[in-house]
Amino acid sequence: MKNILMNILTFSVVIATIVILLLFLGSEEGGRYVYKHNTTHQAILIKSKEYQCSECSMDVEDIEYAVQLITKNGDTYFYDDIGCVVLWLENHPVDTKIILTQTLDTNQWMNATEA
């Protein structure tokens, strides 16, 4: 009987620890990878760590190296660098309208195919 109670107590402690860690480490919104309904097909003004890279899930932290891929239906995907866009496109065929990146000198968003 003592072993059964000890096993139940151990199991309860492990489950409680996992639940507490998930609640503590999780965010209210979850991962933010896509901005919906960008029907103007213009760059979305974002802040550092506001979105996560659609390929590697890293926070888009250095905005000057960030990339935005806008589909024809208005979904905007974010990437922490241009390499992640290339990798993502290999596995996700989407109807791309435009890929935007920033210039390092003026920090203006421009078409990546013209950069």
The answer to whether residue 26 sits within a structural domain is no
The answer to whether residue 24 sits within a structural domain is no
The answer to whether residue 9 sits within a structural domain is no
Q: What is the mean pLDDT of the segment spanning 69-80?
A: 94
Instruction: Provide the pLDDT for residue 114.
Output: 85
Helix (H, G, I), strand (E, B) or coil at 102: strand
The answer to whether residue 13 sits within a structural domain is no
Helix (H, G, I), strand (E, B) or coil at 115: coil
The answer to whether residue 91 sits within a structural domain is yes
Instruction: Provide the pLDDT for residue 51.
Output: 93
Is it the case that residue 78 has pLDDT exceeding 60? yes
Instruction: Provide the pLDDT for residue 24.
Output: 64
The answer to whether residue 92 sits within a structural domain is yes
For 46-70, write each residue's pLDDT tens digit. Answer: 999 999 999 999 999 999 999 999 9
Q: Which residues contact 30 (CB under 8 A, 6 or more apart)?
A: none
The answer to whether residue 14 sits within a structural domain is no
- Rounded to whole angstroms, the Cα distance separating 96 from 84 reads 15
pTM: 0.71
User: For the chain, how many structural domains are there in total?
Assistant: 1
Helix (H, G, I), strand (E, B) or coil at 94: coil
Q: Which residue has the higher pLDDT, 91 or 23?
A: 91
Residue-by-residue DSSP string for 52-88: B-TTT--B---GGG-EEEEETTS-EEEESSHHHHHHH
Strand partners, 77: 34, 69
For 8-49, write each residue's pLDDT tens digit. Answer: 888 888 888 887 776 666 554 556 889 999 999 999 999 999
The answer to whether residue 28 sits within a structural domain is no
Tokens encoding 12: 């309860």
Range of the domain at 105: 34-114
